[in-house]
Structure 1
């Protein structure tokens, strides 16, 4: 998608997403056969449910129909959340992932899987799980050390409510 079209779509969609108390995370325009697919990824502090995606999809669809932002031709609109293994790109993503296990690819090379305990403007305080019965260790990494980061799915993760009880 061209920068101009991307900026135009972002300018058109951001107020609609904000009005629904959501954050616009990503806009992706791709091809699926003859048709184009516009994928709009949204999120919030509390997450996004299916009803919110459906309602926002109707609002965005109406707006796109009233403008020529998508040009001529067919397109499919998808409004979705980042998913369970969401990428961590902005500070607010790390805030939302506090307490979660994440996989970090580091600029210096190597990979790290650790739980996000706390964060500030400069970096993260992590708990690296112990291996083979060893105790977990604390580690601090700066944001500039991180090449990529993604939340890890935990099937045996205790719910926060259980931990607080």
Structure 2
């Protein structure tokens, strides 16, 4: 998708998504045979459920039908949430992942898994799990040092309510 098309779609759809108290995370246009697929990824502080995706999908569909943003070609609209293992690229992603384990790759090549404890404007306070009976260690990482980060799935993760108790 060209930058101009992406910017035009973002400009058209972002206010509509924001009006539903959601963040427009990603816009992707691809081909599936003769038809184009417009994939919209939305999220919020509390996550996004199926009903919210359906509601946003209807609103986006109406908006796109009123405009010529997708041109005359047929397209399929998909509205989805980012998924459990999505990359962390924005400060708000890290805030939403507070309390979760994430895999980090730093620009200098260091790679590790740690739990996100707190997030501020400059970076993260992390807890690196102890290995072989050792205690966890604290670590501070600035956003500028992070090359890649992704939430790790935890099947035995403590519920936030348990942690707060």
Aligned residue runs from structure 1 range 9-158, under 5 A? 9-158=9-158
Can you give the 5+ residue segments of structure 1 that lack an aligned partner in the other structure? none
How much does 1:118 deviate? 1.0
**Hey, what's the Cα distance between the residues in 2 that align with 1:32 and 1:130?**
47
**Hey, what's the Cα distance between the residues in 2 that align with 1:108 and 1:33?**
42
**Hey, what's the Cα distance between the residues in 2 that align with 1:104 and 1:34?**
39
- Does structure 1 residue 159 correspond to structure 2 residue 145? no
**Hey, what's the Cα distance between the residues in 2 that align with 1:103 and 1:34?**
38
RMSD: 0.9
Name the counterpart of 1:4: 4
TM-score by length of 1: 0.97
Q: Secondary structure at the match of 2:18?
A: helix
**Hey, what's the Cα distance between the residues in 2 that align with 1:29 and 1:105?**
28
Alignment: residue pair count: 165
**Hey, what's the Cα distance between the residues in 2 that align with 1:86 and 1:143?**
17
Q: Secondary structure at the match of 1:83?
A: coil
How much does 1:73 deviate? 1.3
How much does 1:137 deviate? 0.8
**Hey, what's the Cα distance between the residues in 2 that align with 1:129 and 1:5?**
44
Task: Give every structure 1 segment of 4 or more consecutive aligned residues whose post-TM-superposition deviation is greater than 6 Å.
Answer: none
**What's the CA shift string for 1:1-44, capped at 9, x where partnerless?**
11111111001101110111101111111112221111101111
TM-score by length of 2: 0.97
**What's the CA shift string for 1:103-139, capped at 9, x where partnerless?**
1111001311100011211111100011111111111
